[in-house]
Amino acid sequence: MPLPRQCFSRFAIFVVVGCFVIVVVTCGTYFGLAKRQHHSFDWKTIVSNSGDVLPDFSFAGYHNSAIILPNRSNANITLAFNSSIDDVKPLIQEAIDGIAASGGGAVILPEGRWPITAGINITSGVVVVGAGGDKTVLVLQDRLSQPVFTLGTSSNNTRPRYGFRSNITNEYLPIGSSSVDVISSAGFAVDQLVYVSRNATKAWIKANGMNGLVRDDAQQTWLPVDKRILSSNQISSVSDKNITLRIPLTDNLDSDYVQPELLVYTPPYDNSEIGIQDIGIEVPDTCSGAPLNDKTCNSAAVYFPSWTVDSWASGLSLKGFNKFFQVDQDASRITIQNCTMNRDRDIQGAALPFDILIQGSQILGP
């Protein structure tokens, strides 16, 4: 039997193999160096001509992200539901109120799919825990005209008490600044809560390119002229007329467009150490995609009202909502992590709904 004929010469084979080795070595070296350079790159070196740096968001989240989310408390109430129950809300609320009265702890929900109606309020020091987003599933029996879970106290009349105020005198404060100069520091003290306050002037709105918004031949408004913008912060030190803030600015302050001031405030109350985790919540008659004026379909699955601080939502599986999370102004240091949001119907209408509506500050989200 004749031997098969050699299609390529040994020289050609050596050339192909050699080229392959060169390509592999070159690519390996290139990507190795690129990876090393990527990890060693210091983003703090990026600075604009005005001194702006990339914002430092490491202060966002539960306790400024200085500590991890707490493990389950030793004090807890473990619930058991009867399979014939038609609404587990009263049992969950009763357990929350009971453990809150005893100083706080965890309310543990059992595995299974359980019917529920919206309107559960979780108070300070209480965590509601399931067995997992696909193991403990709460199924809404009706469309929702209120949030399923409210973490804190929901009230429309919760204004803070304002104190000493003074104009900021710096001509320009770049992003990343922690130090501001004021006309007078007489009423400022270390650890005071303050707002960095400014108004959305017509000149500032125009400088941001947001004064000529048009949709369907109609003028649109980004922010109303002179709307007050408040960014919460805390005083770290006071030296003569210079104030150092704990949280670096995440927006610049240009005196050509705005007159910023530092304003002391005292919260009317606060709710803290509230959590919800490892639970699934579903709307079978889906609200996803509903018009924003539909009042039966635009409440959040999880709502953090004003003055809720150092609280969290983790490991949630949410399906069929039009708004999954809402964080109100003056809620702060909130962590939302490891949550899935399943919008299972196309959007109806012109306006887009929010998966996570954030109006508070220092919010760490997915």
| CATH code for the domain in which residue 227 is found | 2.40.30
Mean per-residue pLDDT over the chain, rounded: 89
Confidence of residue 143 (pLDDT cuts 50, 70, 90): confident
The reply to whether 94 and 235 lie within a common domain is: no
The reply to whether 207 and 256 lie within a common domain is: yes
Q: Could you tell me the CATH number of the domain that includes residue 146?
A: 2.160.20.10
- The total domain count for the chain is 3
The reply to whether 32 and 115 lie within a common domain is: no
Instruction: Phi first, then psi: give them for residue 326, nearest 5 degrees.
Output: -135, 130
User: Across residues 49-65, what is the average pLDDT?
Assistant: 92
Residue 133, Cα to own-chain centre: how many angstroms? 20
The reply to whether 210 and 253 lie within a common domain is: yes
Confidence of residue 68 (pLDDT cuts 50, 70, 90): very high
Using CA of residue 103, residue 306, residue 362, residue 51, what is the dihedral sign? negative
82: pLDDT strictly greater than 60: yes
User: Across residues 142-151, what is the average pLDDT?
Assistant: 93
User: 107 near 96, Cβ under 8 Å?
Assistant: yes
Domain final position from 245, 266, 287: 266
Q: Which of these, 311, 356, 313, 355, lies nearest to 337 by C-alpha position?
A: 313
Question: In percent, how much of the chain has pLDDT > 90?
Answer: 70
Residue 257 domain flag: yes
129: pLDDT strictly greater than 80: yes
355: pLDDT strictly greater than 70: yes
DSSP assignments along 174-233, one per residue: -TT--EEEBS--TT--TT-EEEEEEEE-HHHHHHTT-S--EETTEE--SS-TTEEEEEEE
The reply to whether 311 and 221 lie within a common domain is: no
Residue 43 domain flag: no
The reply to whether 96 and 241 lie within a common domain is: no
Residue 5 domain flag: no
The reply to whether 133 and 183 lie within a common domain is: no
The reply to whether 148 and 284 lie within a common domain is: yes
Q: Pick the residue with more confidence: 12 or 119?
A: 119
The reply to whether 102 and 229 lie within a common domain is: no
Residue 297 domain flag: yes
* pLDDT of the residue at 7: 54
* pLDDT of the residue at 79: 96
- Nearby residues of 313 by Cβ (< 8 Å), 6 or more positions away: 151, 275, 276, 277, 302, 325, 335, 336, 337, 339
Q: What is the pTM of this model?
A: 0.84
Residue 3 domain flag: no
Residue 55 domain flag: no
**Dist. CA 285–CA 211, nearest whole Å:** 40
Residue 89 domain flag: yes
Instruction: State how far the alpha carbon of 347 is from the alpha carbons of 146, 290, 322, 325, 327, in Å.
Output: 20, 6, 9, 17, 22
Residues spanned by the domain of 26 = 10-37
Q: What is the pLDDT of residues 287-322, one digit of tens each?
A: 888 888 888 888 999 999 999 999 999 999 999 999
Q: Which of 88-97, 127-136, 290-299 has the lowest mean pLDDT?
A: 290-299
Residue 2 domain flag: no
Confidence of residue 157 (pLDDT cuts 50, 70, 90): low
User: 180 near 173, Cβ under 8 Å?
Assistant: yes
User: Across residues 269-278, what is the average pLDDT?
Assistant: 96
User: 365 near 342, Cβ under 8 Å?
Assistant: no
Domain final position from 216, 240, 266: 266
The reply to whether 30 and 177 lie within a common domain is: no
The reply to whether 261 and 222 lie within a common domain is: yes
Residue 181, Cα to own-chain centre: how many angstroms? 30
User: 52 near 174, Cβ under 8 Å?
Assistant: yes
91: pLDDT strictly greater than 80: yes
The reply to whether 152 and 276 lie within a common domain is: yes
Domain final position from 249, 266, 283: 266
Name residue, tokens 């080229």: 19
